[in-house]
Structures are given as C-alpha cells and as structure tokens.
Amino acid sequence: MQYLWENIFKRLEREQNISSILAQNILFRNLSKSELRFIEKIIHIRKYRAGEYIFRQNENGVGMYIIAKGRVDITIIDDIFIDPSEEKEVVVTRLEPGDFFGELALVEDVSRRSASAVASSDTILIGFFKPDLLEILERDPGIGVKVIFRLAEVLGRRLKETTEKISQLKKEIRLLGELHEVNTSDS
C-alpha cells in the first residue's frame, strides 16, 4: 500500500533535485530562488531508456537538454573512411549528470542537429526549448536577458574551444605533411 505522504515526499525530493540541477547549470546559475521556481514551471522532464535516441544528426533542433540522471553519448556519422552507403556512428563524447547539450537550437532560426544524442543508460533529462525561452522573454524579460547572456557566454566559449581545436589539428596535419616529405625524400 502506498501512502499519500510517500508521494508528497518523493515529489518534494524530485523538485529539490531539479531545482539544484538548474541552479548549478551555467544558464541558470545567477538566477534567484524565485526566478528558478519560474523556470521550473516551464522546463520539461523527459525519460529515455538505454540505447534510445534523444535526437538524430541533421534533424531539426528545438532546444537543449540537461542531464539529471544517466549518461548520453554524442555521436556523429562517420562516412570518411567507409563506404558512403554504409553509415557508422562514432562516439564523440559521453556526457554525465549536470552536463548539457543542444543549446545552439535555442538561438538558430532553423537549427539542424550537428550530431546525434543517444542515452547510454536509463536517463532523465531536463528539456529547455526555444518556445520556453521565448515565453520567458515575453513574461519576464529580466530573467530572459540573464538566461540569454549566459547562453551567449556558453556559445562563445564553445566557439573558442572549436577554433583552438581546429588550429591544433591544422598544426598536426602540417607536421604530418612535413614528416611525410622527409620520409619520401630519404627513400
């Protein structure tokens, strides 16, 4: 038999957990408790089983997800070294609780997913979608500006990391080319 207070306690525990996850996320970190409660009323909880796709590469994106529980693999289709008619997915990274992904869909007019997201274990996600952001901007522009400012910070940081990685890869390619030239001239 399940008692009424058990449900209340579980709901309170879940709400406190969601609240703490939101409070720790960079997008919502500088919001007050009342502003976080406002956000909690707008977000969406989604559950996925291990192996289930959250979204697939090239699909339209509508928003971002924060991992509350479980793990998510971010994969891309690797068709460079295999027959193009065969699609092989390669894991780019594995995300853990507290990590988030898909945030570019919040700002792009028409967003296409650049990778797939697959639950690698039973997973609970907090969904925050573009219509939610637009609702916040309409209902409470002060909160909306705080969230957008943090979102811009995240996107800027990710762009910087990507640029650094591209620069590093270009150097490695140049060094491999030079090494190849040395090896072929010695032959």
Range in 9-13, 62-66, 135-139 the model is least confident about:
9-13
State the pTM of this model: 0.79
Q: What CA–CA distance (Å, rounded) separates 59 from 178?
A: 40
Half-sphere exposure of 149 (CA within 13 A, CB side): 10
Distance from chain centroid for Cα 62? 12
Tell me the backbone φ, ψ of residue 63, rounded to 5 degrees: 175, -170
Q: What is the pLDDT of residues 34-89, one digit of tens each?
A: 999 999 999 999 999 999 999 999 999 999 999 999 999 999 987 665 566 667 88
On the question of pLDDT at 2 being above 80, the answer is no
On the question of pLDDT at 6 being above 80, the answer is no
**Higher local confidence (pLDDT), 184 or 20:** 20
Q: What CA–CA distance (Å, rounded) separates 105 from 133?
A: 11
CATH fold for the domain made of 4-186:
Jelly Rolls (2.60.120)
Q: Calculate mean pLDDT across residues 7-26.
A: 70
Q: Are 105 and 36 contacting, i.e. CB atoms less than 8 angstroms apart? A: no
Q: What is the pLDDT of residues 88-135, one digit of tens each?
A: 889 999 999 999 999 999 999 888 999 999 999 999 999 999 999 999
Indicate the burial class of 74 (C-beta count within 10 angstroms; 0-12, 13-18, 19 or more). buried
pLDDT at 12: 44
On the question of pLDDT at 10 being above 60, the answer is no
pLDDT at 60: 94
Q: Are 105 and 62 contacting, i.e. CB atoms less than 8 angstroms apart? A: yes
**Strand 60-61 versus strand 123-129 pairing type:** unpaired
**Higher local confidence (pLDDT), 173 or 8:** 173
Q: How far apart are the first and last CA of the chain?
A: 81
On the question of pLDDT at 25 being above 90, the answer is yes
